[in-house]
């Protein structure tokens, strides 16, 4: 974890923001429990709640904290270990020393939380809490708050205050994200080097994830590694690698400090793009570069998304797959047929940062409303950019037969889309190219100390090594 002062300052800022919004009462933060994979004692790899990590840093299960908005009192709830725990888990630091690590002076047994929350509520005090991101936390909140629909009573002022803090990355966080990106580059390089006709995709996944496990916490989300890139979230890796295909690898490393990286590259399985693949790849590559060139304080990421969509339609026009006025096509949402997702999302302690706090609260400024259109409607980050935003830049072009057939059947985009020509692309798959980007005072910087090869010639050169 970071130095104590980091966590103290963050909590202080949180309490000040709540007071500035006229809020009173207490803030209840709940750390994660272990998540059973099979039975209760065989758990997935331990992962703490991100908001907890941000404000307290303590990376162990079954803790809670109550922060008093009115008098600034902070209390940590956690249990000291007994001899049984020592046998199974080894000597552990005391709760007192853990509290000291995050700069909290008062601590109580975990079991005391229920009574304290009940007492606070009896005394008419507001208990502010955020959306639980795990089923355990849902159950815990149901018990603490004493009602079934705990989701309806989350504190929007608290959520907004947390978002406003976590959205702007501190220098120490940017350093941590740079390090996670460096690991991400190393992992992707290992994957690229492992691509080989005739092996099973899962083989590459094993080789690449070993980097994430050896040097970081693990992967920052379930790896997408597929010759069916047109399926956006394809987590199957059971296919044999065939020549002439495109392999989409969308994967990231979560560092031991729990900051994420998230990159996507698309490789020709044979090492060289076919002319058809290269044409489409070039468009996506230019979209990625174009989005980055526009990224700077003052522009909204919604504007960057739309400008990138226009760029994409320009390229698709040149291939004869769409036709007509570019602005009209952008307005009609034609780009969504080819890229049914948004240009990017916030990234930090979560790979989609703070998504559990509400996509729109995280990614949209007050006054911005989320579109319904395919593609733009999936944009997770639309805000006006400010220095300290960490976002992804991930345009993609996919040929999804079911979606194309649906559009065609319903007459969608019939004035713009050359459906007959599209049929030749039904086995094409998809291409996505993703970098992680920091908004700086005078523009933007790609995160990580080196960039994965992305220009078509560079990709082919890297694969030839």
One character per residue 202-221, x = contact with its own copies (rule: CB under 8 A): xxxxxx-xxxxxxx-----x
Q: How far is the CB of 10 from its own copies (least distance, A)?
A: 19
Residue 64 tokens read as 């809670």
Strands 396-398, 106-108: parallel, antiparallel or unpaired by DSSP? unpaired
- Of 72 and 206, nearer to its own copies (C-beta) is 206
Question: What are the phi and psi torsion angles at 396 (to 5°)?
Answer: -155, 155
Contacting its own copies within 240-299 (CB under 8 A): none
Nearer to its own copies, 54 or 273 (CB): 54
**C-beta of 51: minimal distance to its own copies in Å?**
10
Q: How is residue 379 written in tokens?
A: 């944009």
Please choose, out of 42-50, 103-111, 121-129, 290-298, the segment that lies near its own copies by the rule CB under 8 A.
42-50
- Touching its own copies, residues 48-87 (CB under 8 A): 50, 83, 86-87
- 8 A C-beta contact, residue 170 and residue 396: no
- Find where tokens 């162990």 sit: 60
E-state strands within 151-304: 218-219, 224-226, 246-251, 253-254, 263-268
- Candidate list 23, 133, 255, 266; residue touching its own copies; CB under 8 A: 133
Can you tell me which of 22, 40, 123, 298 binds its own copies, judged by CB under 8 A? Answer: 40
Q: Which is nearer to its own copies, 139 or 318 (CB)?
A: 139
The Cα-based distances of 422 to 278, 340, 412, 433 in angstroms read 16, 16, 14, 22
Long-range contacts of 14-17 (CB under 8 A, 24+ apart): 14/55, 14/67, 14/161, 14/162, 14/165, 15/67, 15/69, 15/72, 17/161, 17/164, 17/165
What is the rounded distance in angstroms from the CA atom of residue 240 to the CA atom of residue 167?
A: 41
Query: Which window, 223-231, 272-280, 302-310, 453-461, contacts its own copies (CB under 8 A)?
Result: 223-231
Of 25, 231, 29, nearest to 113 by C-alpha is 29
Which of residues 40 and 465 has its CB atom nearest to its own copies in the complex?
40
Half-sphere exposure of 425 (CA within 13 A, CB side): 29
Chain positions 347 to 406 lying near its own copies, rule: CB under 8 A, are 349-352, 354-356, 400, 402-403, 406
Q: Which stretch binds its own copies (CB under 8 A): 130-138, 292-300, 364-372, 419-427?
A: 130-138
Residue ranges in contact with its own copies by CB under 8 A: 35-47, 50, 83, 86-91, 133-136, 138-139, 202-207, 209-215, 221-222, 228, 230-235, 340, 349-352, 354-356, 400, 402-403, 406
């Amino acid at each position: 974890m970071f130095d104590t002062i980091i966590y103290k300052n963050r909590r202080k800022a949180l309490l000040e923001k709540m007071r500035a919004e006229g809020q009173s009462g207490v803030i209840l933060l709940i750390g994660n429990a272990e998540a059973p994979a099979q039975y209760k004692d065989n758990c997935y790899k331990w992962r703490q709640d991100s908001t907890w990590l941000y404000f307290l840093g303590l990376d162990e299960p079954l803790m809670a904290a109550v922060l008093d908005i009115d008098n600034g009192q902070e209390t940590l709830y956690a249990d000291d270990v007994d001899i049984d725990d020592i046998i199974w888990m080894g000597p552990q630091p005391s709760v007192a020393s853990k509290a000291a690590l995050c700069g909290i002076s008062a601590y109580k047994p975990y079991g005391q939380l229920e009574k304290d929350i009940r007492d606070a509520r009896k005394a008419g005090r507001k208990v502010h809490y955020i959306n639980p991101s795990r089923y355990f936390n849902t159950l815990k909140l149901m018990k603490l708050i004493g009602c079934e629909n705990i989701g309806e009573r989350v504190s929007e002022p608290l959520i907004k205050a947390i978002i406003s803090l976590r959205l702007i990355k501190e220098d120490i966080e940017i350093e941590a994200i740079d390090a996670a990106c460096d690991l991400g580059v190393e992992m992707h390089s290992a994957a690229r080097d492992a691509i080989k006709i005739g092996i099973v995709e899962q083989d590459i996944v094993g080789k690449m994830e070993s980097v994430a496990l050896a040097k970081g916490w693990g992967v920052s989300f379930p790896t997408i590694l597929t010759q069916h890139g047109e399926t956006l979230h394809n987590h199957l890796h059971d296919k044999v690698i065939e020549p002439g295909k495109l392999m989409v690898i969308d994967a990231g490393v979560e560092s031991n400090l729990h900051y994420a990286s998230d990159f996507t590259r698309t490789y020709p399985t044979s090492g060289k793009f076919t002319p058809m693949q290269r044409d489409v790849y070039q468009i996506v590559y230019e979209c990625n570069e174009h989005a980055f060139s526009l990224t700077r304080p003052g522009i909204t990421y919604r504007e960057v998304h739309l400008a990138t969509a226009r760029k994409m339609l320009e390229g698709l026009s040149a291939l004869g797959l769409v036709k007509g006025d570019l602005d009209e096509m952008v307005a009609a949402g034609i780009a969504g047929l080819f890229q049914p997702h948004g240009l990017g999302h916030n990234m930090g302690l979560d790979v989609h940062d703070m998504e559990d706090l509400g996509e729109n609260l995280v990614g949209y400024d007050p006054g911005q409303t989320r579109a319904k259109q395919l593609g733009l409607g999936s944009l997770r980050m639309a805000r006006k950019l400010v220095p300290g935003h960490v976002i992804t830049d991930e345009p993609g072009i996919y040929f999804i037969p079911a979606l194309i057939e649906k559009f065609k059947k319903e007459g969608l985009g019939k004035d713009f889309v050359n459906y007959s020509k599209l049929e030749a692309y039904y086995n094409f798959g998809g291409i996505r190219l993703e970098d992680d980007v920091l908004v700086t005072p005078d523009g933007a910087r790609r995160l990580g100390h080196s960039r994965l090869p992305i220009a078509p010639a560079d990709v082919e050169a890297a694969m030839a090594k």
